[in-house]
Amino acid sequence: MTATMNFGTSSQPSPFAPPADDVRPDVPRVLVKTTPDDRLSFWGSLVGSGALVWLLYTQILPFSGRVGFVILWYGAFLAMYAGVTAMGNPATVVLDRLMGAIIRGGAYVVFGTLATAVVFTGAKGVEALSNLNFFTDDMAGVRPTDDLSMGGVVHAMVGSMIEIGIAVAVTLPLGIGAAVYMNEVGGPLARVVRTIVEAMTALPSIVAGLFIYTVLIVTLGVSRTGIAAAMAIAIMMLPIIARSADVVLRVMPGGLREASLALGATKWQTVRQVVLPTVRPGLATALILGIARGVGETSPVLLTSGASTYFNANPFNEPMNSLPLYVFAAVRSGEPLYIARGFGAAAVLMVLVLILFIITRILARQKVGRR
């Protein structure tokens, strides 16, 4: 079995010499991952089940028009796909295709539903948004039944900004400071802090609102103002920001800290010049996600601030409206025009969250290669 063996073209001493007569061009092949059977089974089942359900649909009472049709079609498609595959393939292939279809179906439902929510809000809000006064006026003196060319949400937008600004001013230093404490100083007390922080992320936002309502408004007699709402938002945001910052600091490679200390730097210098700059993108992401959460939560502000109609930039003595609160009051009013305004404000809220989110993505991407 030894001497008679040949290795194909190994009589050529090296493959690096260009081939004498070019056998085939050395270009990558296009690999087709699916067999014709894969493709035909899929499309055949899709079309076939659709036709079948279409035929039967006139005989079965639809329970909800299009939705029912789609559900039945999907079920029939799965059955047909599995059946067709089973006719010529082993059970593993049948299961693989079936589960692939189910998994993809679930994912499409999720993303489709998200799309409907976004599109629905946008579509219903367009009516109000197309009036420029929507962004420049407040609702002072505007009746809910007034035409959409009157009134706007500038007071709610500004209110949201001010409230979230105050909340961030409070929670950002506290949250990051606590995270720095937990990670850079450590010790048994730090472990207690971490436990409490994690526990408080379970606090429902409505209970945070109720806490502020009881303490500030009822007990201390502070009236329902912007500052109370800001405090409620801050209470809700603080554990989230502290915990996210803690995670970000924890996953930072310890080797960087060690390198800095080995160079003779103090702990404070290490934190300020090595740790914080390294985790800055992660912290920014955590902060912005916390802001998005704070801006969008209605329950804290529901209890602590009033759905005022006039523009107010002073958080200390008078009620201050905010976007989610405006939406809430508007859609519950029952007046179609007011509801339309509510949707407009909801659309503004969504765009705001989307912008914050895109900023997060940009910041997170800057992490690579910019150091």
Q: Mark the segment that binds another protein (CB under 8 A) among 6-14, 45-53, 150-158, 309-317.
A: 6-14
State yes or no: residue 141 binds another protein (CB under 8 A). Answer: no
Residue 4 amino acid letter: T
As measured in angstroms, the least distance from the Cβ of 51 to another protein is: 19
Q: At what angle do helices 226-250 and 188-200 cross, to 10 degrees?
A: 120
Nearest CB to another protein, comparing residues 141 and 334: 334
On whether the CB atoms of residues 289 and 223 are closer than 8 A, the answer is: no
* Residue in 215, 222, 252, 351 binding another protein, rule: CB under 8 A: 215
Residue 255 contacts by C-beta under 8 Å, 6 or more apart in sequence? none
Is position 190 an interface residue for another protein (rule: CB under 8 A)? Answer: yes
* Residue 328 phi, psi (nearest 5): -60, -50
Size of the site for another protein (CB under 8 A): 125
Dihedral of the alpha carbons of 332, 334, 340, 343, in degrees to the nearest 10: 20
Q: How many CB atoms lie within 10 A of CB 331?
A: 17
Told to check if 40 binds another protein by CB under 8 A, we report yes
| Residue (180 or 256) nearer to another protein, CB | 180
Whether the CB-CB separation of 81 and 52 falls below 8 Å is answered with no
Tell me which stretch binds another protein (CB under 8 A): 45-53, 99-107, 139-147, 307-315.
99-107
Nearest to 304 by CA among 192, 194, 228: 228
Selected from 281, 319, 324, 344, the binder of another protein by CB under 8 A is: 324
147 binds another protein (CB under 8 A): no
Decide: is 78 part of the binding site for another protein (CB under 8 A): no
Q: Which stretch binds another protein (CB under 8 A): 50-58, 72-80, 107-115, 143-151?
A: 107-115
For residue 369, state whether it binds another protein (rule: CB under 8 A).
no
Residue 368 binding another protein, by CB under 8 A = no
Rule CB under 8 A: choose which of 56, 218, 259, 362 binds another protein.
218
Which residue, 141 or 242, is less far from another protein as judged by CB?
Answer: 242
Q: Does 59 participate in binding another protein (rule CB under 8 A)?
A: no
Separation between Cα atoms, residue 180 and residue 280, nearest integer Å: 13
> Helix 91-129 vs helix 36-57: angle between axes, to the nearest 10 degrees?
60
> In the stretch 288-307, what mask flags binding to another protein with x, by CB under 8 A?
-x--xx-xxxxx--xx----
If the CB atoms of residues 99 and 259 are measured against another protein, the closer one turns out to be: 99
Q: Identify the residue among 142, 203, 276, 351 touching another protein (CB under 8 A).
A: 203
Q: Using an 8 Å Cβ cutoff, are 267 and 203 in contact?
A: no
The answer to whether 87 contacts another protein (rule: CB under 8 A) is yes
Helix-strand-coil split of the chain, %, nearest 5: 70, 0, 30
Q: At what angle do helices 336-366 and 154-180 cross, to 10 degrees?
A: 30
Handedness of CA 320, 325, 327, 333 (dihedral sign): negative
